[in-house]
Structure 1
Amino acid sequence: MIKNMGAADKTIRIILGIIIIGGGFYYKSWWGLVGLIPLLTAFISWCPLYAPFGISTCRKK
């Protein structure tokens, strides 16, 4: 897999994932598990939705 996420994109996804998981705990809902998706994509630096469209937020060398 070629990385297609930059630093700002990863930071936003980590924060968003933590907020969603926190909301799931607060409301005692299984929907908090959805927060694992942005966390996982941030940690592997690859977004499957970016791939088919050729989008990349990485800086070009």
Structure 2
Amino acid sequence: MNNVGGFDRILRVVLGVLLILATALGFIGAWGWVGVVPLVTGLLRSCPLYKLFGFNTCPVKKVD
């Protein structure tokens, strides 16, 4: 079930890529590999913590 959408998704992917890149290039320590988490959750559009706490940033679909 998708629960990550819009700006939230873009922010996660960008932040994840930046953290991974900064780590790979040696600008920050190994902790930067944590960027894999926002990258994957952004790409999959699903966040386990959002599900646990009942959050959803996907747009609401209209039902006719």
Q: Normalization by structure 1: what TM-score?
A: 0.84
1:42 alignment counterpart: 42
**Equivalent residue for 1:33?**
33
**Correspondence 1:1-61 to 2 at 5 A:** 2-25=1-24, 26-27=26-27, 29-61=29-61
Distance 1:59 1:28, change over 3 A: closer
Query: SS of the counterpart of 1:50?
Result: helix
Alignment length (residue pairs): 60
Q: What TM-score, normalized by structure 2, do the two folds share?
A: 0.81
- The CA RMSD measured in Å over matched residues stands at 1.4
Identity %: 38
Unmatched tracts of structure 1, length 5 or more: none
Structure of higher CA gyration radius: 2
Shift of 1:28: 6.4
In structure 2, how many angstroms separate the alpha carbons of the residues matched to 1:16 and 1:30? 16
CA distance in 2, matches of 1:28, 1:8: 26
